[in-house]
Every structure is written in C-alpha cells, then in structure tokens.
Chains A and B, each alone.
Chain A
Amino acid sequence: MIIRGTDRVLVMGITGKQGTFWTEHMQAYGTKVVGGTNPAKAGTLHCGVPVYATAGDAMKGGGFDVAVLFIPPLMVKAAAMDAIEAGAKGLVVLTEHIPVQDVMYFVAAAKERGTRILGPNTAGAVTPGECFAGFMPVFNERIFRKGSIGVLSRSGSLGVLFCLNIVQAGYGESAFVGIGGDPIIGTTTRDALVALDNFPGTEAVVMVGEIGGTMEEEAAVYAKTMTKPVIAFIAGGAAPKGKKMGHAGAIVMGDKGTYASKRSALEAAGVTVLDTPSDVGTALKAGLGC
C-alpha cells in the first residue's frame, strides 16, 4: 500500500502523546489529516481537526480513506474492526505485540471488505515530497528525497538505514513501504513488491527482508517476472536458530525461514542479494546502468 497526498487520513488515538506528536509531523509534511478518534474527546478539535468517537462516526462526518492507528495492543482489534466496517480503504497498524489471533481476525475481515492493511508492527509508509503515515524521519533530507527507487522493509530502523544509503549514493525514493515485523501481516513482501513495481516513477526496487517465514521466497516468484532491477537484503544471517530476534516474525524453525533459503530463492529469480547495506548504492548503479 502506497500512501498518496490525496488520501484522507483518520488518526485513531489522535489525542495520545505519540498520536499528537506524529499527527503534527504528518500535517507538516503534507499528509491530509481529516480527523481523529478518541471516544472520551468526541466533538472537540485536536491538532486542528475534529475528534470523533469512532471511525464509523468519522465516516459519517467528513469521511476518510486511510486510518492510522496509534492504539495499545489489546485495543487494536476493536479499533481495526471499527475502521474496516466503516469502509476504510486502508489501515496502517503501527502497534507491536498485538495478540496474533486478533491480527488474524481483522486481517480476515479486511480481506473480505477489500480493505488494505499495512502492518501490524510497521513504522509506516512514505511517499517523499508528498505525504507519510506512521513514524518516519521524513524531514531528514539525507534519508528521504523524491526519486525513483521503491523501498519495502519489514523493519523500520533498517528501512531508514537503506533509505540513507540510497540517498547517499545519489538516488531518491519513489515510495517507502514498511510492511511490519509480525509473523502475520496484512501486506506481504510480495504485495508490496507488486505495488512498487506498478507505482509510476519507480525504476528499481530495494527489498529489505529478514529471516523467518516464507514471504521473501514468495516475493521471489514475482521478482522473476519483473523487468526493473530488484535488490534485496536479508537480515539475520548471523542469528541462531529457534530464537526470536526481537521481531516476532524473525525466527528460524528447522529449515524453514532460513537465510540460505531466502537468498537462494531470490538469486534464482535474478535478484541481487547484498552482503551488507552499504553496498546498495553500487548495486543500484550496476542495475540501472547509471
């Protein structure tokens, strides 16, 4: 899911500390924030936009396209269902540590309604020069600059590092999509790869994956059909088996989800797999020929 400047954004949990801080950032960057939710403060204004009790009320009020959730883990299921049933086009679920069965529940509901979900456990999405949703250092011009490289990442901090290296190498990003570090997420690596491949102005895609699951292997099948260069990095090659490495999704069980499996699937699909993030500039130059 790529966020656009025309998307009307509803910030759920807008009155909290993080909700407020990042809403102000989003507004300053150009995101069209049209409202927020907090049942206790419905009817008031916050960050200059109306606060509603629910996403349903917000839809009946001024309407919105994308809900960004600044909501604590155990309350996300109800908030997400509220937004999905209200008819949201998309949800950005930033929260980490949501019970997996809750995630499955709202992901299933979203699929049925055609709502696109980014996350959970994502740092969000950025379309440089246009807008962003989530928490990303968008104002830092050494990290985000409008350009032609599409970036997708399971990790927020590592995604930022790649953006930094891409800008340092003289490129910029067409869009950044943080898909999230949980084992079950609404937008998979493959989904994001397809979206970036089709996003106007994108000439190459940088895919930042990590150990655990089989999403990179599934994305490799699509990468093979692409004409644009794809450059990948898989974090966690040095991680021991059977241990969750911070992200709930980053765990190697048996021979599933290993670094070797992902790397060989991607290389077989013609994807350049980097040994270190610092090599991304060189790889882009080789892939794009300029």
Chain B
Amino acid sequence: MNFEEHAAKPLLARHGIAIPKGGLAKTPDAAAAIAARIGAVVVKAQVPAGKRGKAGGIKLAANPDDARSHAKAIIGMEIAGHKVEQVLIEEQMPIERELYAAVLNDPASQGPLVMFSTAGGMDIEEVAATSPDKLHRWPVDIRRGFGLADAAARVNGLGLGAAEHKIAAALSSLYAVYAACDAELVEINPLIVTTDGRVVALDCKFVMDDSGAVRQAEIARAGTPEMLTGLEARAKAAGLKYIDLEGDIGVLANGAGLTMTTMDVIRHHGGRPANFLEIGGESYTQAKPALELLLSNPRIRSLVINFCGAFARTDVMTQGVIEAIEALQPKLPIFFSVHGTGDEEAIKLLKDRLGVTPLATMDDASKAAVEAAAK
C-alpha cells in the first residue's frame, strides 16, 4: 500500500526525524491561509507517484497570493494517472546539501537494505546507473536491527562534516520507522542539511507491506487505497483477487501461477485475456461469486475456466461454477479444463448438470475460447 507524502511524513516525525512545517489544503484559499501562517512556501501535489516536480506539481510561492494561484493550477491536475485532490503547503528550507536515504526489503540479501547517497534530490535509479559508487548499500541483519552506532560507523568517512552525527541519527530513525511500520520501502529524497545545520526530510515515500497491514490498522488507515476499476473494487470487497485487463476472453482459474499461465496461453493462441481472477488457496469455495462477478463484465465474449487442484478441490470449485451458470444462464461460450484434486467428481458434475465435457488440455480450452471470441 502506497502512502502520499503528507501521510508518510508524520511517520518520520513520530520517530524523531525533522520535517518542514506545513499543512494540507484541498482548495486554493486554504493553501493561501496556510502560507499566510508560514511565509515562503512550497506547494506540492499529493499523489502516490514520483516525478511530481517534472510534471509541474511542485511550485515555490513567496507569498499567500502565489500559493493560492499555484494551488489553483495544481489541484485537478493529472499526474501519472492520478488526479490531484489536495496539495501540501510547506515552509521553504535553506538547503545546503541534498542526500538520499532509504530502507527496503531486499530479495537478493533476503533482508532489509539501507541505502544512502550523497547525491540526493536526483532520480536514484539514475544515480545507481551513472555513479554507483555514490550509492551505498548496507544489508542489515533484521534480528539485530540498525541502531545509532551502526549508522554512525557506516557514515563515518563519507565527508558529511558537522552534520555527520545528525545524519547517522536520521538513518537509524529511518530504520526504526521501517521496522515499526511493516514497511516494504521507506525513502527520503532528499534528506537535506540546512545552512543552519539541521537535517530535515523534504520528501518521503512510504510503501507498506500488504501482508503487514493487518497488524498496522491505525497507520494503514492513512494509506492511499489502490486505484481500482468498478469490478476490481467489487472483487476486493468480496475478498477475490481480480484485475481488469483489456481483452475480451474471461479467465477463471485457481492459483496465481495457473491463472497467469491461462492468460499467457490465451495470448499465445492469438487472443486477449479480459481479466486475472484466481480462486486458489483458501478462496476455492468462492467460485460462484467469482464467476458472477466475471460475467458482469460486458466486454467478455468467451470464457476459459481452468482448474488444477492441489489444496483447492476442483469438485468444490466446479459446484460453485455450476450454481452461478444455473442462476445467470449466460449466453457466451464457456470452455473448461479440469484436472487434479477432485477432478473425477468435477467432470461428472459438469456432465450431469450442464451436459458439458471439459477439453483435454488448457491449450484446447484456450484455443477454443480464442476462436469463439473472434466469431
């Protein structure tokens, strides 16, 4: 789950990292009022995406009138597919130096990774590509953590001057945020040193591990809900994993791998999948609501139902599918491939209740659906 800057920064502040003074505004007048309180400000579009500056979503305002007119231009703007609903109004800071700091889950080392760079304020992927020596990568043993002494030892000798100790403190605090909030990624870019020697987080990106969100209820409320289509939102509410795609061939399968493969095979045979929808694992009893949801997509011209049971029993899934079909009487052609746990019962059910025989392989079912959709 992504967090917008205004929702992420308080997490830093809670763990002792300084952030600029500011406030959130939904209207130009509210922006002007905050600026009147603070003085010279930055007006920042709030969307869960990067590169806001390049898109014109970040502007400096010397006075409340400027803040109002910038807010007016930015609110309603679209950045990376997100409509800007509100702006963060923050005090301008006297920047002496810009740094980069992040902590993230690193599959390569199978643990947390602290990243730090003296080339802050830039696109960090660009720094990694053009001057990798400037991007420090410090793997952490999650059982030990990354305390002040660890951070101090790491930043020593990097030429940070008088701010070195404060930077080390910010890094260990950033790790504390990561550990306390089930972060997948927490990033400060830039982390600045001001002309009067303070260390301040000018921006913050925070992504919460979706599996950790259940034990972070209070913090998770501040996260940005995923942008969902109507069907995706309905599926999520029903506890189903559904993703809208652009094609016209519906897909219902169990297990993420099998569902992706069904999409791949449809494409391999020249068709275009309309969706990802899987009812594997504990949700294998949800075939009926899943199919009902899928059939409400008006774009679908044919359907592949591909079951391969391990934990998920194909007879239970097939029973749900039959109930949905009997209830909704869909007109579109449906092609089955059914194998694995419970398949003999499933095949018998299909024959007895729907008069249908599954095709021998998922390739056959996919190919038939592609041909039917093209008609």
Contacts and interface: CB of A to CB of B under 8 A. Distances in A.
A265 interface: no
Contact of A276 (B209, B280, B363): B363
B339 A98 contact: no
Contacts of A245: 243, 256, 259-260, 276
B263 A123 contact: no
A154, A211, A247, A248, most chain B CB atoms within 10 A: A247
Nearest to B314: A137
Interface stretch (A39-47, A101-109, A196-204): A101-109
A233, A244, A254, most chain B CB atoms within 10 A: A244
Interface in B250-303: 253-261, 263-268, 273, 276, 278, 280-281
Question: In terms of DSSP, what is the predominant structure of the interface of chain A?
Answer: loop
Given A159-B257, A235-B264, A100 B105 contact: yes
Contacts of B215: 74, 99
B214 A164 contact: no
A54 interface: no
Question: How extensive is the interface on chain B, given as a class?
Answer: 35 or more
Contacts, number: 174
Contacts of B209: 99-101
B69 to A, nearest CB: 34
Interface in B86-139: 105, 107-108, 110-112, 125
Contacts of A137: 309-310, 340-341
A247 B276 CA distance: 12
B179 A157 contact: no
Interface of B: 105, 107-108, 110-112, 125, 141-143, 179, 182, 184, 209-212, 214-215, 241, 243, 245, 253-261, 263-268, 273, 276, 278, 280-281, 308-312, 339-341, 343, 361-363
B201 to A, nearest CB: 22
A97 interface: yes
10 contacts: A101-B212, A157-B255, A158-B308, A159-B257, A159-B310, A160-B340, A161-B261, A164-B308, A245-B256, A246-B257
A82 interface: no
A277 B261 contact: yes
